[in-house]
Each structure stands twice: as structure tokens, then as C-alpha cells.
A = this chain, B = another copy of it.
Amino acid sequence: MSAPRKTVHWILAHPQESSVNARLFREGVEFLSRDHDVHVSDLYRQGFDPVLGAADLGAPGGREGNVVDLMGAAHAEGTVPSEVREEQRKLEAADLVVLQFPLWWYGPPAILKGWFDRVLTNGFAYGPTDPETGLPLRYGEGLLAGRRALVIVTAGEDDRSIGTRGISGDIDALMFPLTHGTLWYTGIEPLDLHVVHDVDGFGAADVERESARLRTRLAGIDDETPTSPYRRLRDGEYHGTRALRADLLPGRTDLGIHRRVRD
């Protein structure tokens, strides 16, 4: 008996259909579709609006309140814009989320940043406190827990510039606001990054090589686990859910302190 067919939500953020990203996207989606149900959000092609605005903050005319509270109310009252609700449905259905984008100013393009801003709302992706554990519903306890994410990022730079001690900062640290602050906050476990370096100078052979490397990665994706997962609130490693306990990795202040040794 075979394992149940898993569901994937693949989100692409690149403006050019002729790009390396678009090529890897088409091939990756085709490859996974052989034995997965794959839903896509090709943000540029669908004209996704990344600007969180009045429509996300509840009734027109506007109520007073901060953004987090108003978005929570919109979720509770079912007034979330249909474009956003559609993205939430694809995300809810997914076992695996693939986020694919070029590194622009050391982060995701605005169209993807705004997808996080608008789609991962209070009440949908995270919440206040779990009555059973007393823990806030975030950082591993988020409402999207049980899902995993593969982040595929293409960069114009080489593995020294965005490697350990590289002038542009290590890619794992640059991606921390996404992998830890966004995905892990909502409970989604990020797998190790899939980085494609030096992409601006790519020729046909380079694209072939990266395409093959991505297919190999995707072939084993259902059994993959992160090399070093992020710490969970439930393990009691943070003082009152805020700062890492003084006895853990004392003296270290780098973002790597939030990773744990695997069980």
C-alpha cells in the first residue's frame, strides 16, 4: 500500500517568464506533480497585490485599532479579501510549501513580502495563547504547524559573498526573518535552504545542472528533515518566551543560537 498522496503549495515571485526561476519553477512543478497534488501561486502572473491596505483592515470607512487587531477581527468576521482567502486555502491544504524567489536587496521581492503581510493573518496563521499549554501560538506552536517549507532562492552572488563571514552576510542569517520570523512563527518548519548561486551569469549548461540538482532534491523531499531545526517554545528554552536561557550557548549572540540539536 502506498503512502497517501501529499499536497504542495508552490509560490513563485519572479517577473520574467524567461528567467532561470521560471524555468526551475515549471520543471519543479511538473516533477512533483507526478506523485503530489500541486497548487501554484505564480504571484506575478496572477497579479497579486502585495500592499496590505484598507481592504485587509476590515470594513470600508475604517475602524480604529492597530493592524494586528483589525486583521484578527477581519478573520473572525469573514471579511478577508477573496484574493487573500484563496491563498490561505491553498496554504491550509498543503503538506509542503515551496517559496521560490530571486534575492533582491537581500530579501524576497515586494510581491512575496506582501504575500506574507496579507495572507499570514492573526487568527489564521498565529494566535494568542493555547489554553492547554499556556504558550503563545507562535514559534513552532503557530496555527500552520504540521507543514514544512522549502525555500528556493537564486542569488547573483557566489557562495563566499553570502557564505559564513561573507561581506553580504551569511544567507542563513539573511533569511532568518523569513525562515524563523515568518515560517517558524506560524508553525511551518523550514527545511535547509536551496540556494542557487551566481545566477546572473548562467548559460544553458548551468541551468541544466541546477535543474537536475533541484529534481534530485525534490525526489527525496517527503522524507527530508532540517539539519538543525529551530527551538520550540514548549521546550522551555526561553525565559518567559522572550530571551534564550542564559545557560544555553552562553556568550553567543548570533542568530544560530535559535537552532537546536536534533532529537
Residues on A close to B: CB < 8 A? 15-16, 18-19, 44, 50-54, 57, 62, 64, 66-69, 102, 104-111, 113-114, 116-117, 120, 139, 156, 158, 160-161, 163-170, 173-174, 176-178, 180-182, 185, 199-200, 233, 238-239, 241-244, 252-258
A165-B131 Cα distance, complex, nearest whole Å: 27
Most buried by B among A161, A167, A244: A167
From known contacts A68-B156, A117-B110, A166-B243, infer whether A177 and B180 are also in contact, taking CB-CB under 8 Å: no
Query: How many chain copies?
Result: 2
Q: Which 7 A-B pairs have the closest CB atoms?
A: A110-B114, A106-B181, A254-B254, A106-B177, A50-B110, A160-B242, A110-B113
- Give chain B nearest CB distance to A206 CB in angstroms: 13
From known contacts A53-B15, A117-B104, infer whether A173 and B176 are also in contact, taking CB-CB under 8 Å: yes
Pick the contact of A182: B106, B109, B253 (CB < 8 A). Answer: B106
